[in-house]
Each structure stands twice: as structure tokens, then as C-alpha cells.
A = this chain, B = another copy of it.
């Protein structure tokens, strides 16, 4: 069938456009509804800093699967919003450590609650086993494309 050749390629648009973008839009909307003027991309940086403050930009690249320019600019924007500060390492002047401001620290509980509620909305009717399968498959996909 001529139409058959489409089926594998279609999976990409399903994965990308559908679920991930839909979750992102909903999470952004829930942030705005709560009066929080940060983007989900900015939040994803803060998220890792709440777990471990003072990461450098390269570590944030690795943890968020972004490249260096993306992190540079996200940090630029977070600095403008007074949510983080850059501090150059004294032992290696190539390295910038990123630290949360008090303002950002105070956002942690509220925004993580919103993120969790969003995921609860998204995951209605989906079992823990299914979620585990999805995580494992996506991890394998990432490894297939990057570990070589």
C-alpha cells in the first residue's frame, strides 16, 4: 500500500506535536492563571537548581538536553527577571555557576505544585505501568540517537 510507507515517520509528529506540546501549553496556561510570569523553559532550569543550586551552565545543558547557546540565553532571561545570578568560578574562569535568588527560591513550592497538577490532568486514565513504559521507551530513543 502506498500509504504504508508513512506509518513509521508519523510517530515523530505524534510524539512531538501532540503530547509534549500539549503538556507545555497547559503548564504555561496554569502558570499564567496563577499569576506566574515565567515560561516553562525557564521553569525547567529553575527546577534543576531547586534540586541542586549552583550548577554550571554545562551541567544545565546535560540535565535539560539543551545546547550551550540555549542555556546561555535562558540564563540571560532568568538574570533579567532577577531569578538567578551568574558567578564565575574562582578556580576555573571558563565556568559560570548559576545561583537562585531569594525570589526564585520562593517560587519553588507553588510552581512545582502547579506542574504536578498539570501532569495529573494529563495522566488521567493512564496506569503507572504505562507511564513507566513511556519513560523507558523515550529513554531508549534518546540513547539510540545520542550514545554512539
How many residues does chain A have at the interface if contact means C-beta atoms less than 8 Å apart? 59
Asked whether, in the complex, the Cβ of A123 is within 8 Å of the Cβ of B144, the reply is: yes
State whether the Cβ of A91 lies closer than 8 Å to any Cβ in chain B: no
Asked whether, in the complex, the Cβ of B8 is within 8 Å of the Cβ of A138, the reply is: no
A122-134 CB contact bits vs B (8 Å, 1 = yes)?
Answer: 1111100011011
Chain A 1-55 interface residues, beta-carbon cutoff 8 Å to B: 3, 5-6, 8-27, 40, 44, 47, 50-51
Q: A119-B12, A121-B144 are in contact. Are A17 and B137 (CB under 8 A)?
A: no
Asked whether, in the complex, the Cβ of B122 is within 8 Å of the Cβ of A144, the reply is: yes
Q: State in angstroms the CA–CA spacing of A29 and B48 once bound together.
A: 29
Q: State in angstroms the CA–CA spacing of A142 and B123 once bound together.
A: 9
* A130 surroundings in chain B (CB, below 8 A): 133, 136-137
A-B contact pairs, 13 of them (CB 8 A): A8-B116, A8-B120, A14-B138, A16-B23, A17-B44, A17-B65, A18-B141, A19-B137, A19-B141, A122-B141, A126-B141, A130-B133, A133-B137
What is A's interface to B at a CB cutoff of 8 Å?
3, 5-6, 8-27, 40, 44, 47, 50-51, 64-66, 112-113, 115-116, 118-126, 130-131, 133-142, 144-146
